[in-house]
Chains A and B, each alone.
Chain A
Amino acid sequence: MERTAASKPRGWRDLGARVSMVVPAVLIYAALLVVPVIYAFYYSFTEYNGFPHRVPEFVGLDNYRSIFESDDMTGTMVVTAVVAVVGAVAVNLAALGLALLLQRTNRFNTFGRVVMFYPHVLSALVVGFLWQAILGPQGVVNTMLEKVGTDSLPFLSDPDWALWSMILVIVWSLFGVQLILYLAGLQAVPADLLEAARIDGANRWQTFRAVTWPSLASTVTVAVITSGISLLKTYDVVVSLTGGGPAGSTKTLAYSILAVSFPQRDIGVASAQAVLLIVAAAVLAITVLVLRRRAEDDAESIG
């Protein structure tokens, strides 16, 4: 009410100012993020080799069909799903567990937090190259194993091992961020409730179950969604750690789009894969939000 009264004298000029303040952000965002998403949907129904003088040819669902019929590409999707699900679970369990251990602020714990967080400031590409030098066939670990006289281990050279090695590396580099989120969340757990639980004689697990966990609800939602989405688009570490191999065992969808379909000028297939990833990210976000909604409501009734 007061607003209209206050802004009336300024009228059109104010409206103009407001519009001009929003437009640049909308323009950049729409042109380089929204339009490409629309293009991805459009190209995903066409056959197109990306040459400027060629017009994309409409082929309906052919690209999707060929993705789901090709073992190579369904394998890619399985790898992506395993990385996202196993990675997100491992990252969040490690982060929450260590956050509980590092809760109290003292020098030792602060040191621990910094040391666990620092890989986040390194790029995933560098992390991948570094671990390739550690786990590779001639890497540090295998050199040491040979020195001790044991057989070397095929961390990155055996298809059955490589995916798990890669997930290990991803968890190593990623859990520190979520650790910080959980530490921030733990700060917000109401101290009087913890105190009340202690007085009631609850043990640690009961306190965690009944007080800490419900109060952390919104933190868990944020941490799971952010880690899940960043794992879905795993690309850099694949490039530097394994190159998608051996035998495609670590080829994620993002890697397949940027390093296989695009260089092969399969714009239609690359776009269809991108659409699948966008849909997967949306499904993940919505599922987590819906699943957590109840828990968050509980948390609100507690807080």
Chain B
Amino acid sequence: MKKTLTSAATVRVAFISLVSLGMLVPMYLLVVNAFKSQQEILANPFSPGFGSATFQYLADAWNNPDFSILKGYGVTIALVLCVNALAMAVCAPAAYVLARTPKLLSRLLLFFFIAGMFIPTQVILVPVIFVLRTIGLMGTMPGLILFMTATTIPFTLFVFFGYIRVLPRSLDEAAAIDGAGRYYTLWRIILPLMRPIIATVFILNSLSVWNDFASPQMILGPGSGVYTVTTGVYAAVGQYSTDYTKVFPTLLLAVIPILVIFIVMQRHIMSGLAAGAVKG
């Protein structure tokens, strides 16, 4: 009995190790091949190649005239911050009111927002282009920020709603008796209590904004000359996908910031995702 148990445990450990290996090998290849020449990559893709490693290809990718990766980081970080700020600024008050008004109208409004979670956002980009053109924001960062905010509103609002609803109502009532208005109550009483959920939403929305490709590709377009990390990678690598001295270094530079953030904050990101899913 004991023996079968330990052998089952061995099989389990071996199996998980194997899967983990399958997950890590692509990342290993990405890292080691970013420092090698094309011949070396084609001859020995798996060798770490310490002897002949060179930073030249990374430097070339960094200085790519088609796409400045540093600018890409800047644009994408600005996008992440603006979308988060705007989404939270509009969703926190709305969620607060909806959570505190248990009337039919607010339930309908909530449902109207939640329905948005089931809309596959990238497929409505074509009509979005026409809407943005009508309001004069097509091909601009504000237009992109507004659209990406709209796509994050359903999730943000729903999660905020779920969180505020279970905060004790006596808090608001005490504030109301003291003469506080809705805005004051939200700002001084509710928001400070929402810190954990704000952190969760920030992480999840940031990931989806950082990684989005279709929206910046369609809304900014190549004409605007503004590239996010993803559209920049596409511009830099798209036509040269067999020139591995371009592919690996560019991809490595594109993923380094997000991977570093992930490794540092891995516990928060994963538990935030689980919490968000349980709430949703």
Contacts and interface: CB of A to CB of B under 8 A. Distances in A.
The answer to whether A and B assemble together is yes
Interface of A: 2, 6-7, 10, 13-14, 17-18, 21-22, 24-26, 28-29, 31-37, 39-40, 43, 50, 52, 98, 101-102, 108-109, 111-126, 129-134, 136, 138, 140, 143-144, 172, 176-177, 180-181, 183-184, 219, 222, 226, 229, 232-233, 235-236, 239-240, 253-254, 257-258, 262, 267, 270-271, 273-274, 277-278, 281-282, 285
B251 A129 contact: yes
A130 B26 contact: yes
Contacts of B207: 120-121
B82 interface: no
Interface of B: 12-13, 15-16, 19-20, 22-24, 26-27, 29-30, 33, 42-43, 45-46, 86, 89-91, 93-94, 96-98, 101, 109, 113, 116, 118-128, 130-133, 135, 146-147, 149-151, 153-154, 157, 173, 176-177, 181-183, 186, 207, 210-214, 217-218, 229-230, 233-234, 237-238, 241-242, 244, 247-248, 251, 254-255, 258-259, 261-262, 266, 269-270, 273-275, 277-278, 280
A229 B155 CA distance: 14
A232 B122 CA distance: 11
Among A33, A180, A236, chain B packs the most CB atoms within 10 A around the CB of A33
Contact of B45 (A37, A140, A183, A285): A140
Among A32, A115, A124, A181, chain B packs the most CB atoms within 10 A around the CB of A32
A111 B157 CA distance: 33
A118 B188 CA distance: 37
Main secondary structure of the interface of B (DSSP, over half): helix
Given A35-B131, A37-B124, A121-B262, A25 B118 contact: no
A33 B151 contact: yes
Contacts of B173: 2, 6
Main secondary structure of the interface of A (DSSP, over half): helix
A122 B258 contact: yes
B16 A21 contact: no
A271 B123 CA distance: 8
A274 B114 CA distance: 19
B150 A28 contact: yes
A9 B120 CA distance: 45
A21 B131 contact: no
Contacts of B275: 184
B249 to A, nearest CB: 12
Among A36, A236, A267, A273, chain B packs the most CB atoms within 10 A around the CB of A36
Nearest to B96: A21
A66 B27 CA distance: 43
16 contacts: A25-B113, A31-B135, A33-B151, A33-B154, A39-B131, A40-B127, A43-B126, A115-B24, A121-B269, A123-B254, A130-B251, A143-B42, A180-B277, A258-B122, A258-B214, A278-B119
B80 to A, nearest CB: 13
A32 B213 contact: no
B214 A43 contact: no
Given A126-B255, A240-B238, 18 more contacts: A6-B173, A10-B181, A14-B182, A31-B131, A36-B127, A37-B124, A39-B130, A108-B13, A121-B258, A122-B258, A123-B210, A124-B211, A125-B233, A126-B233, A219-B277, A236-B214, A254-B120, A254-B123
Nearest to A286: B118
A6 B179 CA distance: 11
A52 to B, nearest CB: 7
Contacts of B254: 123, 126
Contacts of A14: 181-182
B242 A111 contact: no
Nearest to B248: A133
